[in-house]
Amino acid sequence: MNMLKVPLQIFRYKPGQTPGYDTFTVEIPATAHVIDAIDAVWTSHDHSLAFRRACHHSSCGSCAIRINGLEKLPCVTRVTDVWDGRSQVRLDPLRNFPIVSDLVVDRADFFRRMSAADMAMICEAEAFLPFTVDTFAVADLEPKLVELPENFSRFTRFEKCIECGICMSACPTMAADEKFLGPAGLAAIHQARKKTLDPVKVEHLLGLADGEHGVWRCHSAFECTEACPQAVDPAGKIMALRRELIARRFLKMLGK
Amino acid sequence: MENPFAEEPKPTSAWLWQVLTGVGLVILLGLHFIANHFVAKGGLRDFEEVVAYLRNPVILCLEVLFLLCVTVHALLGVRAIFLDFGLSEPAERRLDQVLKAVGFLTVGYGLAVTWMVIR
Amino acid sequence: MSTLNYRKLSRSSRWLDVRRRRLGMWAYVLNRITGLGLVVYLYLHLVVLSLLLRGPAAWDSFVAVARSPYVLALDVILLAGILIHGLNGLRIALTGFGIGVGAQKALFVVIMVISAVALWVAALKIFRV
């Protein structure tokens, strides 16, 4: 196996200490991803390194950080894609989140923003299917609403978005305005609005987006769409919400 | 704990007005530019030419509209920059009051100067 | 839990950090800078117009100064600001309504090219007059 000796420059912070960078050189396979390099630092060099990781395949969104200044998911970013063979690979936590320690950021307010859209946990398609059936194998199965057990709310989630927070880090308005709902929050509102037919809920969702710190605070930098690892296109969703809000305002003016 | 992001805020039309005045300015500034630097001999009007120019009622209307559009657009833009400073709610309201006052003063000043010139 | 809000730049100037940013961000920063420049120019222009109240002598002598090459050079810079801000503003208006969001980078490039060409032509005309 081809092994590489990769120098990493990692942001370090522990409460009560001055923030700074530590350098580590790790020996990892040439096919390794950046998260493997971080693992190697923790395993062989410094057990005090704080970082998040879980699924290792861009489904959970836990590991999001900045690699050489750009927001990425290190679990699907190969070391060879970000290392020129000589310079240090710089790892920083996400921007626009309070830093807990090293590469770990506080996501509480981020999850509050996602909760504002009031979307839930499983794919809507799954709620229409009997639990135990592999429906893709049963071609003539009619999708029908399944009776769910009591106290089991029907949950539908924002299917593409893995809530990694990368768009929030890339967004210059998030850097400026703490009250901004952010690309993820607004894209979630757009998705929830698309998925509901309840007019009261639609009004509420559009109302959330219509404020000074909603869709109108976006400055069209499009960094969110550029950085998103899941092709959610939050910028496009923000613009779609704007169009709907203006159309409604226009129709209201005409008395409809 | 209440989720502050789940409370419906006041709706705002600021961005819409920014776009509308912006598009208006592309036209009005274009006309202003052509009238003052292409139509005018030598690209600039001397005193007599300015007075004659402003005494034309069509021109006067367009220039007043231009003044209104540019003031609204400029101050909405300045407001947008200040809103990125992380202001508190009372500070945001004070900002709006100050900018409204500046807007009225600007337009008032422009109208006053115009009136005194064409009299 | 004590967290660190680690920023070298104050909240009001973070938008100026363009390191590793892409075209969309550059467009936003340029629009803001040109916008600020144009606001300054607007109020300068309005103040200068008060010279009209001092009569023909005051105004005409200002016009003579306005023809000097230094002022004309500033006019070219002003025009650059107007072109970039105006054309980019139209791009923001379009994409803000969801039109051409996928082409936002290409639109920015086209706008900068048009601005450069128009500015060059205008500079030639301004200095030949």
| Structural domain spans, chain A | 3-105, 108-119+158-253, 127-156
Q: What is the ipTM of this complex?
A: 0.91
pLDDT computed for residue C1 by the predictor? 59
Q: Is A234 helix (H, G, I), strand (E, B) or coil?
A: helix
Q: What is the fold, at CATH topology level, of the domain defined by A108-119+158-253?
A: Fumarate Reductase Iron-sulfur Protein; Chain B, domain 2 (1.10.1060)
Q: Is residue A85 a contact partner of residue A3, using CB atoms and an 8 Å limit? A: no
**Per-residue pLDDT reduced to its tens digit, C50-107:** 999 998 999 999 999 998 999 999 999 999 999 999 999 999 999 999 899 999 999 9
Q: Does B38 touch chain A (CB under 8 A)?
A: no
Which amino acid is present at A128?
F
pLDDT computed for residue A136 by the predictor? 43
Q: Which of C65, C49, C66 is nearest to B118 (CA)?
A: C49
- Smallest CA–CA separation between B36 and chain A, in Å? 33
Label residue A256 by pLDDT band (50, 70, 90).
low
**Per-residue pLDDT reduced to its tens digit, B22-43:** 999 999 999 999 988 888 777 8
Q: How many domains are there within chain B?
A: 1
Q: Is A91 helix (H, G, I), strand (E, B) or coil?
A: strand
Q: Does B22 touch chain C (CB under 8 A)?
A: yes
Instruction: Tell me if B9 is assigned to some domain.
Output: no
Distance from first CA to last CA of chain A, Å, rounded? Answer: 69
Q: What percent of chain C has pLDDT over 70?
A: 98
CA distance A94 to A170: 8
Label residue A39 by pLDDT band (50, 70, 90).
very high
Residues facing residue A104 across a β-bridge: A101
Give the mean pLDDT of A29-56.
Answer: 97
Please state whether A85 falls in left (phi above 0), alpha (psi between -120 and 50) or beta: left
Q: Does C45 touch chain B (CB under 8 A)?
A: no
Give me the domain span that covers residue B30. 15-118
What integer best gives the mean pLDDT of chain A?
Answer: 87
Instruction: Tell me if B109 is assigned to some domain.
Output: yes
Q: For domain C11-128, give the CATH number.
A: 1.20.1300.10
Q: Does C46 touch chain B (CB under 8 A)?
A: yes
CA distance B11 to B35: 39
Q: Are residues B9 and A214, on separate chains, in Cβ contact within 8 Å?
A: yes
Give the mean pLDDT of B35-64.
Answer: 89
Q: Is residue B85 a contact partner of residue C21, using CB atoms and an 8 Å limit? A: no
CA distance A162 to B27: 44
Task: Name chain B contacts of A214, Cβ cutoff 8 Å.
Answer: 9
**pLDDT exceeds 50 at position B63:** yes
Give the mean pLDDT of A149-174.
Answer: 75
Q: Are residues C101 and A235, on separate chains, in Cβ contact within 8 Å?
A: yes
pLDDT computed for residue A134 by the predictor? 43
Predicted TM-score of the model (pTM)? 0.88
Distant-in-sequence, close-in-space partners of A49: CB < 8 Å, separation ≥ 6: A10, A12, A38, A41, A42, A102, A103
**pLDDT exceeds 70 at position A110:** yes
Residue predicted with more confidence, A132 or A223: A223
Q: For domain A3-105, give the CATH number.
A: 3.10.20.30
**pLDDT exceeds 90 at position A147:** no
Structure tokens, A39:
């693992």
